[in-house]
Amino acid sequence: MHIMKRALITLCAVAAVASLQSCKMKTADSVVSGDAASRVYVAPGKYDEFYNFVSGGFSGNVTVYGLPSGRLIKTIPVFSVFPENGYGYSEETKAMLNTTNGKVDWDDQHHLELSQTNGKQDGRWLFANANNTPRVARIDLTNFRTQEILQIPNSAGNHSSPFTTENTEYVVAGTRFSVPLGDADVPISSFKKNFKSTASFISVDKNSGHMKIAFQIVLPGMNLDLSHAGKGPSHDWFFFSCYNTEQAYTMLEVNASQKDKDFIVAVNWKKAEEYAKSGKGHIVPASYAHNTFDENTQKASTVMEKDVLTLDPKDCPDMIYMIPCPKSPHGADVDPTGEYIVGSGKLAALIPVFSFDKIQTAIKNKSFEGDFYGIPVIKYEAALHGEVKKPGLGPLHTEFDGKGNAYTSMFLSSEVVKWRLSDLQVLDRAPTYYSVGHIMIPGGDTREPSGKYLVAYDKITKDRYLPTGPELCQSAQLYDITGDKMQLLLDFPTTGEPHYGQGLPASMIKDKQVKYFDINKNHNEFVSMGEKKTKVVRTGNRVDVYMTAIRSHLTPDNIEGVFVGDEVYFHVTNLEQDWDIPHGFAIKNSPSVDLLIMPGETQSIKFSPVKQGIYPFYCTDFCSALHQEMSGYLRVSPKGANVPLKFGSGVIAPETAAK
């Protein structure tokens, strides 16, 4: 009762302030100053200054925008199939989506993190998390393709992921939903006893980028929410926010908001690493898929992993400490110096800022107020640098400009609040339209923020764009943060639900983009090295079509002798060796989608005809003036018909018929 009442009062207060705020916000027009347009204008033919990688939320994929223009330049398929280029449909990429539950074609993608060296962006890889079927992906920034996807066992709601340490030693994955280990079948009401949260540390190979779960720390049942690695002096540490330390398993809205404070979980990953190496861990059975795309064979394959090394804090003293943090913290963000750790209590009326120095002193002096399942809980005051008072309502996420300032998104009061790390004074506030989630400053979670722009990713847009029925777009908003006051410059709609984003100077990666794949290095087992090498091969009811594409024809373009019930694989090699000349491939009535084959690459699609007839196929990408001519016919005959296998271009020559 008491709790309900308190929740109600909070809600009323929030509503009152929110309505006040929204009255103020109606004057959106007036907040954009006269020269905003010229500051986001990127003239035709000119490049943007930054790449902005934006998580796709329930779209499962990642989108790439240019800043400051806000122009969408790319969708990178990661966890969801992508009909546009055949990702997840083609024989080469299907295995990327394998899991222990079969092929999972969708996910909820929240956070992105760029690889780092010495705490700075190095422009090598982009990591992405999947919440729903716990996975972490690695995207190569020379070709903007997903190279690797690693499933996370003993996890659910993989939310505090994929944040990285300063040299990308580890990418982390923490459980939002606690679950019993090993997929055990237990009553839900046995949460306290059986449910665990886990923090997985995934090692990343310095050269290849290959990921491996190095160790998994098993924690009491609670909800790990977000995380960030330490920097500089706090290099060895990782900080996770958590909520539901009440350990509720039903009606969390009320039951997980009872305590005044949850925790920031401080993990000394260097210590954990030592414990893992010195045999303090336990290797336990666990099955999870590890999918890798091999550039050489141009094909994804899956290895089913069999075990994982777990660490129990009980066996590993001095590895983990809890820091009380007010009211269901969400973001856990570390400033560029590595000294300040900002917790953002979603329901708190202040922002607590912790000091790494003080945390270390508190540990040394054992300034503890008790323990949580054996993990020492540091006294709040002993860890606290200070509190930002009355920052706004519903603090979620904080980024930094590298000039001693922090910016926190306020979900409930729909604003970004700028405050100073040293004295915790609020310096400026700018409205967002509306209900901002994450914010992003290029490099804003590294040692070296660029400090020029801030992008707010908004959950609700209401009246900001032309209405499109009940489903409205979500949106990003670009602010100039070079002056004392933040200045709104631009709105641009996003794909799916944008959560976190990453931004990096275009100069860091634009000149190392792969323009086409070297056909001489194409080791796809179904490559056709030239038109003369094209063929059609029958093996039982499997038919392999080795096809080439070059402006403006497909070879072979006539195929006969295929029957209902056959499994036909089209392996299309794009022979072009020129930038921006992909060819597409689609065949009539194919339930599978299009392929989009890059120059020098081979891609394959399976087609199982269920009816006799003539099936046209064609290039789907307008590649030349004669693109419309880039087509052919497949003849499908009834099962058992007396039609010999023939293929060719021009007239089908009898000598091409298979023996």
Q: What is the 3-state secondary structure (H, E, C) of 19-75?
A: HHHHHHHCCHHHHCCCCHHHHHCCCCCCCCCEEEEEECECCCCEEEEEECCCCEEEE
Give the x/- contact pattern for ligand K7E in 404-433, rule: CB under 6 A.
------------------------------
Per CB under 6 A, 228 contacts ligand K7E: no
User: 170-174 and 145-151 as β-strands: parallel, antiparallel, unpaired?
Assistant: unpaired
CB closer to ligand K7E out of 92 and 399:
399
Cα separation of 109 and 384, whole Å?
Answer: 32
Shortest Å distance, C-beta 396 to ligand K7E: 5
- By CB under 6 A, name the one of 94, 110, 145, 231 that touches ligand K7E: 110
CB closer to ligand CUA out of 10 and 624:
624
- By CB under 6 A, name the one of 124, 418, 447, 499 that touches ligand K7E: 499
Cα separation of 513 and 333, whole Å?
Answer: 31
Bridge partners of 344?
Answer: none
- Choose the binding region for ligand CUA from 305-313, 471-479, 520-528, 623-631 (rule: CB under 6 A): 623-631
Determine how many CB atoms are found less than 10 A away from the CB of residue 507: 11
CB closer to ligand K7E out of 92 and 113:
113
b/e per residue 143-163 (b: at least 16 CB within 10 A): bbbbbbbbbbbbbbbbbbbbb
CB closer to ligand K7E out of 329 and 561:
329
- By CB under 6 A, name the one of 488, 621, 635, 636 that touches ligand CUA: 621
Residues 109-138 that bind ligand CUA (CB under 6 A): none
CA-nearest of 92, 148, 144 to 524 is 92
- Choose the binding region for ligand CUA from 11-19, 108-116, 248-256, 618-626 (rule: CB under 6 A): 618-626
CB closer to ligand CUA out of 205 and 629:
629
| Total residues at interface with ligand CUA (CB under 6 A) | 8
Per CB under 6 A, 346 contacts ligand K7E: no
Cα–Cα distance list, 516 to 78, 519, 521, 575, 640 (Å): 21, 9, 11, 10, 43
Shortest Å distance, C-beta 54 to ligand K7E: 12
Shortest Å distance, C-beta 458 to ligand K7E: 10
CB closer to ligand K7E out of 127 and 380:
127
What residues have CB less than 8 Å from 127, skipping those under 6 apart? 112, 113, 114, 115, 136, 137, 138, 139, 162, 164, 171
Q: Which does 583 bind (CB under 5 to 8 A by kind): ligand CUA, ligand K7E, none?
A: ligand CUA
Cα separation of 571 and 534, whole Å?
Answer: 10
Shortest Å distance, C-beta 156 to ligand K7E: 14
CB closer to ligand CUA out of 140 and 621:
621
Per CB under 6 A, 622 contacts ligand CUA: yes
Q: Which does 621 bind (CB under 5 to 8 A by kind): ligand K7E, ligand CUA, none?
A: ligand CUA
Shortest Å distance, C-beta 626 to ligand CUA: 8
Q: Is 191 helix (H, G, I), strand (E, B) or coil?
A: helix
The H-or-E segment that residue 370 falls in is strand 368-372
- By CB under 6 A, name the one of 130, 630, 634, 652 that touches ligand CUA: 630
Residues 523-582 that bind ligand CUA (CB under 6 A): 549
Per CB under 6 A, 159 contacts ligand K7E: yes
Cα–Cα distance list, 332 to 132, 157, 388, 443 (Å): 21, 17, 15, 16
- By CB under 6 A, name the one of 358, 429, 438, 646 that touches ligand K7E: 438
Q: Which does 500 bind (CB under 5 to 8 A by kind): ligand CUA, ligand K7E, none?
A: ligand K7E
| Radius of gyration of the chain measured on its C-alpha atoms | 27
Q: Which residue type is seen at 114?
A: L
Q: Which does 452 bind (CB under 5 to 8 A by kind): ligand K7E, ligand CUA, none?
A: none
Q: Is 234 helix (H, G, I), strand (E, B) or coil?
A: helix
Cα–Cα distance list, 106 to 57, 239, 476 (Å): 10, 29, 23
Per CB under 6 A, 87 contacts ligand K7E: no
Q: Which does 396 bind (CB under 5 to 8 A by kind): ligand CUA, ligand K7E, none?
A: ligand K7E
Return the beta strands (E) in 184-319 as ranges. Answer: 195-204, 211-220, 223-229, 237-243, 261-268, 282-294, 299-311
Cα separation of 37 and 50, whole Å?
Answer: 17
Which chain residues interact with ligand CUA by CB under 6 A? 549, 583, 619, 621-623, 627, 630
Which chain residues interact with ligand K7E by CB under 6 A? 110-111, 159, 226, 330, 396-397, 437-438, 499-500
